[in-house]
Amino acid sequence: MTFFTDENLALAEEIIGRYPKPRSAMIPLLHLAQEQEGWVTDDAMTQIGELVGTTSAEVLGTCSFYEMFKRHPVGKYVINICTTMSCALMGAGDLMKHAESRLNVKSGSTTPDGLFTLEGAECQAACTEAPCLQVNYRHQYRVTTDQFDELIDELALSDHDVPDHGVLSQIRQHIPEDRSVGAVPPEDVKVAPVWFSEDGGS
Amino acid sequence: MNEMTGTPIAHAPGFIANETPRIVTARFDYEDSHTLERYEATDGYQALKKALKKTPEEVHDEVRDATLLGRGGAGFPAGVKWGFCPPGVWPRYLVVNGDESEPGTYKDRLLMELDPHQLIEGCLIACYAVGLSQCFLYIRGEMAVAQERVAQALNDAYGAGYVGKNILGSEFSVDIVLHWGAGAYVVGEETALIESLEGNRGMPRLKPPYFPASIGLYGQPTIVNNVETLANLPWIVQHGADAFTAIGTESSPGTRMVAVSGHVKRPGVYEIVNGTTTFRDLLYGNDMCGGIRDDNQLKAFVPGGGSAPWFTPDQLDLPFEASQVGPQGSMLGSGAIMVMDETTDIPAAALTLTKFYAHESCGKCVPCREGGTWLEQILRRVVTGRGTARDLELLIEVGETICPGEFPHAAVPDKGIEAVPFPYRMTTICFVGPSAFAPIHSALTLFREEFEAKVAGNETRTMIEVAVDV
Per-residue model confidence (pLDDT) at position B18: 87
Q: Test A23 with B198 for CB contact under 8 angstroms.
A: yes
Q: What does the domain layout of chain A look like in residue ranges?
A: 6-68, 77-156
The yes or no reply on domain A6-68 and CATH 3.40.50.2020 is no
Q: Considering the entire predicted model, what is its pTM?
A: 0.96
Residue A202: which pLDDT band, with cuts at 50, 70 and 90? very low
Q: Test B467 with A191 for CB contact under 8 angstroms.
A: no
Residue A197: which pLDDT band, with cuts at 50, 70 and 90? confident
CATH class of the domain comprising A77-156:
alpha beta
Chain A closest-CA separation from residue B194 CA (Å): 10
Per-residue model confidence (pLDDT) at position B460: 58
Q: Cβ contacts (< 8 Å) between B355 and chain A: which residues?
A: 83
pLDDT tens, A147-194?
A: 999 999 999 998 889 999 999 999 999 999 999 999 999 999 999 999
DSSP B88-150: T---EEEEEEE---STT--SHHHHHHH-HHHHHHHHHHHHHHHTEEEEEEEE-TT-HHHHHHH
Q: Cβ contacts (< 8 Å) between A94 and chain B: which residues?
A: 465
Per-residue model confidence (pLDDT) at position A200: 44
DSSP B348-413: HHHHHHHHHHHHH--SSSHHHHHHHHHHHHHHHHHHTT---HHHHHHHHHHHHHHS-SPPPB--BG
Q: Test A68 with B183 for CB contact under 8 angstroms.
A: yes
Chain A closest-CA separation from residue B268 CA (Å): 5
Range list for CATH 1.20.1440.230 in chain B:
346-469
Q: Test A202 with B130 for CB contact under 8 angstroms.
A: yes
Q: Test A68 with B218 for CB contact under 8 angstroms.
A: no
Per-residue model confidence (pLDDT) at position B457: 82
Amino acid in the structure at residue B215: I
pLDDT tens, A90-148?
A: 999 999 999 999 999 999 999 999 999 999 999 999 999 999 999 999 999 999 999 99
Contact A26, B195 (CB under 8 A): no
Q: Cβ contacts (< 8 Å) between B144 and chain A: which residues?
A: 136-138, 168-170
Q: Cβ contacts (< 8 Å) between B147 and chain A: which residues?
A: 168-169, 171
pLDDT tens, A6-47?
A: 999 999 999 999 999 999 999 999 999 999 999 999 999 999
Q: Cβ contacts (< 8 Å) between B101 and chain A: which residues?
A: 122-123, 125
Taking CB atoms within 8 Å and a gap of at least 24, the contacts of B313-319 are B314/B410, B314/B411, B314/B412, B314/B413, B315/B279, B315/B410, B315/B411, B316/B278, B316/B279, B316/B280, B316/B283, B317/B278, B317/B279, B317/B280, B318/B278, B318/B279, B319/B249, B319/B275, B319/B276, B319/B277, B319/B278
- Contacts across the A-B interface (CB distance below 8 Å): 285
Mutate to test the interface with A, among B63, B352, B357, B432 (most CBs of A within 10 A): B352
Range list for CATH 3.10.20.600 in chain B:
247-341
CATH class of the domain comprising B346-469:
mainly alpha
**Nearest Cα residue in chain B from A20:** B218
Q: Cβ contacts (< 8 Å) between A182 and chain B: which residues?
A: 175
Q: Test A21 with B88 for CB contact under 8 angstroms.
A: no
Mutate to test the interface with A, among B152, B177, B189, B266 (most CBs of A within 10 A): B177
Q: Test B106 with A127 for CB contact under 8 angstroms.
A: yes
CATH topology for B22-244?
Answer: Rossmann fold (3.40.50)
Chain B closest-CA separation from residue A6 CA (Å): 22
The yes or no reply on domain B247-341 and CATH 3.10.20.600 is yes
Q: Test A88 with B220 for CB contact under 8 angstroms.
A: no
Nearest CA to B466 among B325, B329, B358, B335? B358
Q: Cβ contacts (< 8 Å) between B103 and chain A: which residues?
A: 84-86, 122-123, 127
Q: Test B103 with A123 for CB contact under 8 angstroms.
A: yes
Q: Test B218 with A175 for CB contact under 8 angstroms.
A: no
Chain B closest-CA separation from residue A157 CA (Å): 23
Of B87, B360, B468, the CB nearest to A122: B360
How far CA B235 is from CA of B42, B123, B228, B230, B254, in Å, comes to 12, 13, 12, 10, 10
Bridge partners (DSSP) of residue B420 are: B409
Per-residue model confidence (pLDDT) at position B462: 56
Is the Cα dihedral B443, B444, B447, B449 positive or negative?
Answer: positive
Q: pLDDT 10s per residue in chain B (470 long)?
A: 334 344 455 667 899 988 889 999 999 999 999 999 999 999 999 999 999 999 999 999 999 999 999 999 889 999 999 999 999 999 999 999 999 999 999 999 999 999 999 999 999 999 999 999 999 999 999 999 999 999 999 999 999 999 999 999 999 999 999 999 999 999 999 999 999 999 999 999 999 999 999 999 999 999 999 999 999 999 999 999 999 999 999 999 999 999 999 999 999 999 999 999 999 999 999 999 999 999 999 999 999 999 999 999 999 999 999 999 999 999 999 999 999 999 999 999 999 999 999 999 999 999 999 999 999 999 999 999 899 999 999 999 999 999 999 999 999 999 999 999 999 999 999 999 999 999 999 999 999 999 999 999 866 555 565 544 43
